[in-house]
Structure 1
């Protein structure tokens, strides 16, 4: 399918959230995927990833994950300054405000005439964590999480006991968890901790560890693996088609 793009500023509890919307050009109603970026917000690789998903028959919403902390439309560069600012934002925004952002995104999607009521989430890096976190919302029935950071370490600000790992039992939908074995951001021990929690909570999940480094999905990066990225897109599309009919 060919894809068209829109831009919406969605009201949230903490201000307007610039959200980039991708959807098929043809008429119809489609399930929604909330696609969470890295700390850099909607860079060119993230926009291309969203378009790939939309071209397979989905409405894809890419929110600015740190909208409260930056001017609307902020895109951070893939350099040391951008990385420092993105990490500063990551550790400044409480997880509870990400939760209210999800509520706003679900409400927005369900108010659109071209969206069904079905919503899933997907993300890379911190976005993988936010996709996992979004699945705490019962309206999000499927989450595809790629090399999700900070779940195992509980390093993001939140109220005591409200970290994403501790809340795993509240996930009702199905998960796919994808990890790079050579990713230094989530060690083998960290992955084992998350796996054990999912097992303990008896969640419905698929676990996949691949021979790849962090950010292997980001085209143009040194660590980009095009063949593996293509496999992940195919798996994500099949996953969402199955669960978001």
Structure 2
């Protein structure tokens, strides 16, 4: 079952989130884990909604909040045209990272209180969302976090010392948005932290797990998705 819910921002106003819940009888009587899904630069589009629906089918309560609401609510575009890419990059350029984290914390608090959530809560993000998933591991009480090809992680390596719960990162070795030098810097800085697990996907480009995308690689996506679900089962219960 899927629906839209309202989320109150910490500084006033509200925004929406796409909520997918397990079918009746799928979870336990006390509720199960929740997962906060963090959007790419294309908004809460079909790709994000499908991810939420897929998680709900596996027994998780999944919530994907609209993080572009401060610029333009309801962004729902694809990666199929230049015009949409231009719009996506404009939104990315205007995105306030710190306010985005606060909006995710507000969303996390709402998710924890939903009737169907009786256990721990994790987060998974893609692209911009991968960066935010890393920062949520650094700045929030999320129980487990997964980032797919997060951008600009090299700008936040000093925050890794704040991580208190498990974090998994899926990294594409040919990521056009993360130069080789930055990849090496990230790998070197994070290898000392036992709560962080990194996987390199050799030969893959950015967004290798985005179904329908130019660089989609089913084998790599399936592997990353399986590792993600095993990770959540282990750390969320």
**Where in structure 2 are the equivalents of 1:77-226 lying within 5 Å?**
77-78=78-79, 79-152=81-154, 154=155, 164-200=156-192, 202-210=193-201, 211-226=203-218
Equivalent residue number for residue 234 of structure 2 = 242
Alpha-carbon distance between aligned partners in 1 of 2:41 and 2:34, rounded to the nearest angstrom: 22
Alpha-carbon distance between aligned partners in 2 of 1:55 and 1:20, rounded to the nearest angstrom: 15
Equivalent residue number for residue 6 of structure 1 = 3
Report the CA distance between 1:130 and its aligned residue: 0.9
Q: Is the 8 A contact 1:6 1:21 kept in 2?
A: yes
Report the CA distance between 1:6 and its aligned residue: 1.6
Alpha-carbon distance between aligned partners in 1 of 2:105 and 2:147, rounded to the nearest angstrom: 19
3-state secondary structure, aligned to 1:140 = coil
| TM-score of the two chains, using structure 1 as the length reference | 0.87
Q: Is the 8 A contact 2:43 2:67 kept in 1?
A: yes
Counting matched residue pairs gives 230
3-state secondary structure, aligned to 2:21 = strand
Alpha-carbon distance between aligned partners in 1 of 2:111 and 2:176, rounded to the nearest angstrom: 35
Q: What's the RMSD between the two structures over aligned residues?
A: 1.7
3-state secondary structure, aligned to 2:85 = helix
| TM-score of the two chains, using structure 2 as the length reference | 0.90
Q: Which runs of 5+ in 2 are unaligned?
A: none
Alpha-carbon distance between aligned partners in 2 of 1:55 and 1:77, rounded to the nearest angstrom: 24
Alpha-carbon distance between aligned partners in 2 of 1:212 and 1:199, rounded to the nearest angstrom: 21
Structure 1 residues 154-207: Cα deviation after superposition (integer angstroms, max 9, x where no partner): 3xxxxxxxxx3322211111111111112111122212212222235x341111
Q: Is the 8 A contact 1:23 1:59 kept in 2?
A: yes
3-state secondary structure, aligned to 1:166 = helix
Alpha-carbon distance between aligned partners in 1 of 2:50 and 2:44, rounded to the nearest angstrom: 10
Structure with greater proportional helix content:
2
Q: Is the 8 A contact 2:32 2:118 kept in 1?
A: yes
Q: Is the 8 A contact 1:217 1:224 kept in 2?
A: yes
Alpha-carbon distance between aligned partners in 1 of 2:153 and 2:56, rounded to the nearest angstrom: 27
Structure 1 residues 196-237: Cα deviation after superposition (integer angstroms, max 9, x where no partner): 22235x341111111311111111122111222122221111
Correspondence for 1:39 among 38, 41, 61: 41
